[in-house]
Structure 1
Amino acid sequence: MSTRTFHAMQAFGMDTITLAGPLEAKLQAIAEAGFGQVMLKANDLVGHPAGWKAAVQAVKASGLRGTGFQVLRDFEGLAGHLHQYKVDIAKSMLEMCAALGCTVLLACSSTSTHASQDLDAIARDLRKLAMLAVPLGIRIAYEGLSWGRTVNEYTTAWDVVCRADCPNLGIAIDSFHILAARTPLEEIAGLDPQRIFLVQLSDFMWQEARTFEERIATARTFRVFPGEGVHTPQLVDLVLRLDALGYQGDYSFEVFNDDYVQMPLPFVAQRARHSALWLAEDVLRRAAPVPGQLKLARR
């Protein structure tokens, strides 16, 4: 691998969700494809046959940096015993996130019919979550699911984050949910790049998912890597808008695909590598890095 290619790949990571097999095999395939980071999920740890602490050691031994840890669901807007239950879940998620050395915990917008739809109440709960994360040095990336009950677009997620007003609470941008909800990309310009804590990229194979049910089915079974789907122009537009805004953080491929989990790991990892190189070298045109960060250069 050339020095240029190596540095270009470091900004991109794969999600373990995309690959089949044990955690160690996934980590090996991701590293051998040239990626420098991996997005981890709770099941990677608690499903490990030797226990979650052994899984943490496997991640550290792989040499891959943890992009982040996912996913805390349906946390916000609950009351009474339901709220306390979710606080306990959040504390456990934060503990595992910290053990991995990950600095970002992903929290998805609630789909629960038991949750309040009041944005100030949602912001209050997210502020509490962020405060729980402060002692561990963890940032909370709040993602608007395109089938979320109240927050189902990144614009509303940003509104809630602004209401909460916590330095370690920001948003996660997920291209699938933006494409599925058909949220205007022009709204990207109104975001603070320092409060975008994670960007997750994927595409899909049809022009639109008309209902929440169709969005859920597509999201969980048939996403594809950037450049493989039918929304390439919009996805390129999104990435370039984030770049122009000044986003300097990580890009992770969150690709749920029922076909890929039936394929050999190197086959899938190489498809992800091809996508990452296309984005880095042809779309973003990333050049050699300056010390400590990647430097962007326009041709």
Structure 2
Amino acid sequence: MNLSNFGMDTITLAGTLEMKLEASRSAGFSQLMLWAKDLVNYPGGLDAAVKLVRESGIRVTGIQVMRDYEGLSGTLHDYKVDIAKSMLQICQAVGSPLLMVCSSTSKHASGDLDKIARDLAKLATLAVPLGVRVGFEALSWGRNVSEYEVAWEAVERADHANLGVVIDSFHMLANGAVHDTIDLIPWSKIAMVQLSDFMWREIRSSEERLETARHLRVFPGEGEHSVELSDLVRRLDRAGYRGDYSFEVFNDDYLQMAPELVAQRARRSAKWVTDQVLRRSLQIRGATL
């Protein structure tokens, strides 16, 4: 693990697409997670946004986010497949290797894990010709899939080379999840790791969960779960994961700050995370001498 593995998420930064790209680059980041709305809402249109991103030299790590996709049937399923095709085309246009899919919150979605796995495999198959991989993430308030272990089970059942699981530290912390089984997931099946923390030990209600998730996250090293976060990234590193880490930090306070200042906070957080892994490695090495 090194600093080049880390990148910002545009949801964390205020300002225009140009400002977000420049703030990330100036802070030393070479990659960025984009939201589809960053591109389609660009004043010059999608093509101009794609040109801007490609000319920036920033590597796009993924496109957010396909919602309420899996477990549907009939016209609802057909509608969501059509939306997914459009998002995959955006991924291809901007050079994104990954489409993020978060677990459904829809009351119309089936909880049948085999059905969920089939739907994910279908999306992964659609993504193959476009050179895009699909990553499935468990929202902590997901209707049928709310824990990373269940998301992994769905991915494992789908058994598709183009499908992986997304590990999100916020949702794990919000659930009080134990990381003991994280290293049972083959590192090659982890499509992305998203990192953030929050400022209190426990979330006491569904309302507080949503409020915290959407408005009050902080960077790793700034919150109340540094021990748990350190354990998570060490486990992932020890298991062989060498992929991308993205700071997905929804925070209304950060949106009132200059994007370059927020990007600098993210850079300090990336250094904090790498220090946790390096320090542990040195401790283990010293103990074996």
Which category describes the TM-score, using the shorter chain as reference length?
Answer: over 0.9
Among 265, 268, 281, the alignment partner of 1:274 is: 268
> Is 2:36 aligned against 1:45?
no
Choose the corresponding residue for 2:12, options 12, 18, 24: 18
Contact 1:9 1:277 in 2 (8 A): yes
Q: Is the 1:285–1:298 contact (alpha carbons within 8 Å) kept by the matching residues of 2?
A: no
CA-CA distance at 1:213 after TM superposition: 2.4
Give the secondary-structure state (helix, strand or coil) at the position aligned to 2:194. strand
Alpha-carbon distance between aligned partners in 1 of 2:190 and 2:140, rounded to the nearest angstrom: 18
- Paired residue secondary structure (2:7): strand
| Match in the other structure for 1:284 | 277
Q: Is residue 83 from structure 1 mapped to residue 74 from structure 2 by the alignment?
A: no
Q: Give the direction of change, closer, same or farther, for the CA distance of 1:298–1:173 in structure 2 (3 Å limit).
A: farther
Deviation digits for residues 132-189 of structure 1, max 9, x if unmatched?
Answer: 0011111111000000001000000000001110001110000000000111100112
TM-score of the pair, normalised by structure 1: 0.92
User: Does the alignment pair 1:55 with 2:49?
Assistant: yes
Q: Deviations over 1:82-113 (max 9, x none)?
A: 00100010000000011111111100000000
- Supply the distance in 2 between the matched residues of 1:240 and 1:63 (Cα, whole angstroms): 30
- Cα deviation for residue 13 of structure 1 reads 0.1
Is the contact made by 1:240 and 1:284 (CA closer than 8 Å) also made in structure 2? Answer: yes
Instruction: Indicate conservation of the 8 Å contact 1:223/1:257, yes or no.
Output: yes
Q: Is the 8 A contact 1:202 1:254 kept in 2?
A: yes
Query: In structure 1, which of residues 189, 201, 209 is the aligned counterpart of residue 203 of structure 2?
Result: 209
Deviations 1:7-64 (A, max 9, x none): 9321100000011110001100000000010000011001100001111111111111
CA contact (8 A) 1:14 1:254 kept: yes
Name the aligned partner's letter for residue 94 of structure 1.
Answer: L
In the other structure, the counterpart of 1:293 is none
C-alpha distance in 1 between matches for 2:173 and 2:43: 37
Determine the C-alpha separation between the residues in 2 that align with 1:262 and 1:33: 18
List per-residue Cα deviations over 1:260-291 (Å, max 9, x = no partner): 000011111110111111222x12339xxxxx
Please list the CA deviations of residues 189-243 of structure 1 after superposition, one character each: whole Å capped at 9, or x if unmatched: 2111100010000000011113332211101000000000000000000000000
Task: State the superposition RMSD in angstroms.
Answer: 1.4
Q: Which runs of 4+ in 1 moved over 6 A?
A: none
Letter in 2 for 1:135: P
Residue in structure 1 matched with residue 27 of structure 2 by the alignment: 33
1:157 has 2:151 as partner: yes
In structure 2, C-alpha distance between the alignment counterparts of 1:21 and 1:217, rounded to whole Å: 22
Match status 1:227 vs 2:221: yes
Give the match's secondary structure for 1:185.
coil
Q: Matches of 1:134 and 1:109 in 2, distance apart? A: 21
Gaps of 5+ in 2: none
Q: Does 1:194 align with 2:191?
A: no
Aligned-residue identity in percent: 61
- Paired residues for 1:243-262 under 5 Å: 243-262=237-256
Q: Distance in 1 between matches of 2:83 and 2:71?
A: 15
Counterpart contact for 1:38–1:65, Cα < 8 Å: yes
**Inter-partner Cα distance in structure 1 for 2:49 and 2:238:** 38
Measure, in 2, the Cα distance between the counterparts of 1:285 and 1:31: 25
Q: Distance in 2 between matches of 1:78 and 1:172?
A: 21
Letter in 2 for 1:77: G
C-alpha change, 1:83 and 1:279, in structure 2 (3 Å) is: same
Name the aligned partner's letter for residue 13 of structure 1: G
* Equivalent-residue separation in structure 1 for 2:184 and 2:202 (angstroms): 25
Greater Cα shift, 7-16 or 248-257: 7-16
* Residues 166, 191 of structure 2: 8 Å contact kept: yes
Give the total of aligned pairs: 282
Q: Secondary structure, in 3 states, of the residue corresponding to 2:242?
A: coil
1:254 & 1:212 partners in 2: Cα distance?
20
Paired residues of 2:230 and 2:277 also in contact (CA < 8 A): no
